[in-house]
């Protein structure tokens, strides 16, 4: 929920500032991914790796629903805009998931007590 909230706040800030997905969504997504990976229970490590791409998709859906787009109107235009934004922001999704995975792996190292 924290990660989805961070992505929603970042998407809202981006919509208000520039009108499309930009640095607020990506920055809050990366910070939220690291925070979620730190706070997740050790037995639920997989949710810290699966959650970030889903939360980022929610943020992109928010941007695609409320930004002006040239892919058409209605549901198909919103979905096409969301997929276009996802293609442009794929590096951020991979980097956020990698950050979460690195935090999870660092928490599972054997020399920690």
Residues 38-60: b if buried by 16+ CB within 10 A, e if exposed: eebeeeebebbbebbbebbbebb
Task: Check pLDDT > 60 for residue 113.
Answer: no
Percentage of the chain beyond pLDDT 70 is: 97
Owner of token pair 């695609």: 64
User: Using alpha carbons only, what angle is made at residue 59 by residues 12 and 92, rounded to the nearest 5 degrees?
Assistant: 110
Q: What is the pLDDT of residues 57-73, one digit of tens each?
A: 999 999 998 887 777 77
86 falls in which pLDDT band (50, 70, 90)? very high
Q: Is the pLDDT of residue 112 over 70?
A: no
């Amino acid at each position: 929920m924290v990660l989805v909230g961070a992505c929603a706040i970042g998407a809202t800030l981006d919509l208000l500032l520039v009108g499309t997905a930009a640095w607020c969504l990506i920055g809050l997504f990366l910070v939220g991914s690291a925070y979620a990976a730190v706070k997740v229970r050790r037995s639920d490590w997989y949710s810290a790796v699966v959650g970030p791409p889903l939360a980022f998709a929610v943020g992109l859906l928010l941007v695609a629903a409320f930004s002006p787009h040239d892919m058409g109107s209605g549901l198909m235009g919103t979905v096409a805009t969301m997929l276009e934004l996802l293609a442009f922001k794929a590096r951020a999704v991979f980097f956020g998931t990698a950050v979460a995975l690195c935090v999870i792996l660092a928490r599972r190292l054997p020399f920690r007590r």
